[in-house]
Structure 1
Amino acid sequence: MAKNLDILSGGAAQGLVARVQAAFEQQHGVRIAGTFGAVGMMKDKLVAGAPCDLLILSDALIRGLVAEGRADATTVRALGGVKTGVALKQGRSAVTIRDVDDLKALLQSAPAIYFPDPLKATAGIHFMKVLHALGLAGDAARLRTYPNGAMAMAALAQAPEADAVGSTQVTEILITQGVQLTGLLPAPHDLTTVYTAAVAKGAREPELARALIAALSAPEAAQVRRECGFD
């Protein structure tokens, strides 16, 4: 019977894990059981006692978990930075976002704006700050929030509003059918989040977790990481 390798991960890494999963499972005789979502929610699950061998979260959260004795400092490995992007429904003409004025005009024209949890998700927390900075946070009727970026983008793909707009990590936009990346959040509202992997303290399969970290971060996987939206 195959062993389970339990992962708690930010949604930004879901596409990357999926790309290496089949080969890794076959090589190591293991089944990867991944839970992906808002990084804050994944931390809450870990603290609540959810089974976990491998963590893939924002670098800041991983460092905090190391300090709390919940992650093994010797296994910490950065996978790369992920930018925060702007998404449109598939088939809509691309909109160029050169500066803040372009971004504000696009968001002002959108009948609905889809993005992840503004309290637990890295991109959602940041994007809500952007909306406040642009004076657009008060129009609650247009804001559509979801537990994580993948769910927000899936909802955007099915949105009844043809001109709806979304924002989340580029990685989550790229893996969602029905949406397209039209640009990145421009300065000074741009955001790049470094995602980092570490073996959880008390992991049942620490060696397999180490092996998966090595596979995800290996130089040979650099092209795959880029294709998935990692810098």
Structure 2
Amino acid sequence: MKQEIRLFGAIAVRPAVLALIPQFERATGLTVAAKWEVNPTVKKQIEAGEPFDLVIINADMVEALAASGKVEAGSQRAFGRIGMGVAAKAGSRPLDIGSTEAFKRALKDAKSIAYASDGTSGGYFSSLLDRLGIADEVKPRLVAAPGGQTASAVGRGEAELAVVPVTSILAAAPDVMLVGRFPAELQSYIDFDVGIGADSSDAEATRQLSEFLVSAAADEVLAAKGVERRHKSI
């Protein structure tokens, strides 16, 4: 019996990758065991010795893991990028966030806003509030949510809006809807790469999974789940 491929990935890519794994398993007969955490936690746990075969996290973090010998040199490949969006409870009134001013107004008018305080997206949003000059007004109404639960907090009525990667919003349907993506001038794409573990238990099987995830065969599913391709490999 072949050993499972241990995939360790960021919560933001979970909805897209989970939709792809059954296709890979059917085509290869291999099995994938996936674990998910926010980006910084994935990197920290791998640095502390967490065993893994394939990792999918922020591109710069994969690069750092390669530099420290945790990821196989030369195995880093561009996976995709995910933009930031605003979520509201399904059926909520339409909300204009199409410009910087409209976006600021929507945040200032919201009674509460959920964000992933421990993730990459949360860090960006917090700095964006400072940049927009509305931090003092908005931050008291922020609701810190654990990774993977930010969009769902809106569906449960714990916050009026949520700011989170688009993938997480789409995955929270039908209780949650995508109000819209951040305006182009405020958008921040989170880049994700894949990397093979230097101590992978089955390097050939892991390489097959890596190749599948970055192949054109996965493009349609990724696009439907909110992941845009980055075709430049590192």
Measure how far apart 1:135 and its partner are.
3.6
Out of 215, 219, 227, the residue aligned to residue 218 of structure 1 is: 215
Q: For the Cα contact (< 8 Å) 1:75–1:198, is it kept in 2? A: yes
Structure 1 alignment gaps of length 5 or more:
none
Counterpart residue number, 2:157:
159
Counterpart residue number, 1:23:
23
Distance (whole Å) between structure 1 residues aligned to residue 91 and residue 73 of structure 2: 45
1:81-160 equivalent positions in 2, closer than 5 A: 81-117=81-117, 120-138=118-136, 139-148=138-147, 150-160=148-158
Measure how far apart 1:2 and its partner are.
5.4
Measure how far apart 1:18 and its partner are.
1.1
Counterpart residue number, 1:184:
181
Corresponding letter in the other structure for 2:182: L
Distance (whole Å) between structure 2 residues aligned to residue 29 and residue 187 of structure 1: 42
Q: For the Cα contact (< 8 Å) 2:116–2:164, is it kept in 1? A: yes
| TM-score, scaled relative to structure 1 | 0.90
Corresponding letter in the other structure for 2:216: P
Distance (whole Å) between structure 1 residues aligned to residue 37 and residue 214 of structure 2: 20
Moved more, 215-224 or 136-145: 136-145
Q: For the Cα contact (< 8 Å) 1:77–1:196, is it kept in 2? A: yes
Q: Give the 3-state SS of the residue equivalent to 2:4 in structure 1.
A: strand
Q: Give the 3-state SS of the residue equivalent to 1:79 in structure 2.
A: strand
Measure how far apart 1:158 and its partner are.
0.5
Out of 169, 173, 176, the residue aligned to residue 173 of structure 1 is: 169
| TM-score, scaled relative to structure 2 | 0.89
Q: Give the 3-state SS of the residue equivalent to 2:135 in structure 1.
A: coil
Q: Give the 3-state SS of the residue equivalent to 2:93 in structure 1.
A: coil
Moved more, 102-111 or 25-34: 25-34
Which string of whole-angstrom CA distances, capped at 9 and with x for unpartnered residues, describes residues 129-177 of structure 1?
11222344335542111231x211112210255xx11111111111112
Corresponding letter in the other structure for 1:126: Y
Out of 180, 200, 203, the residue aligned to residue 206 of structure 1 is: 203
Structure 2 alignment gaps of length 5 or more:
229-234
Q: For the Cα contact (< 8 Å) 1:37–1:147, is it kept in 2? A: no
Q: For the Cα contact (< 8 Å) 2:96–2:106, is it kept in 1? A: no
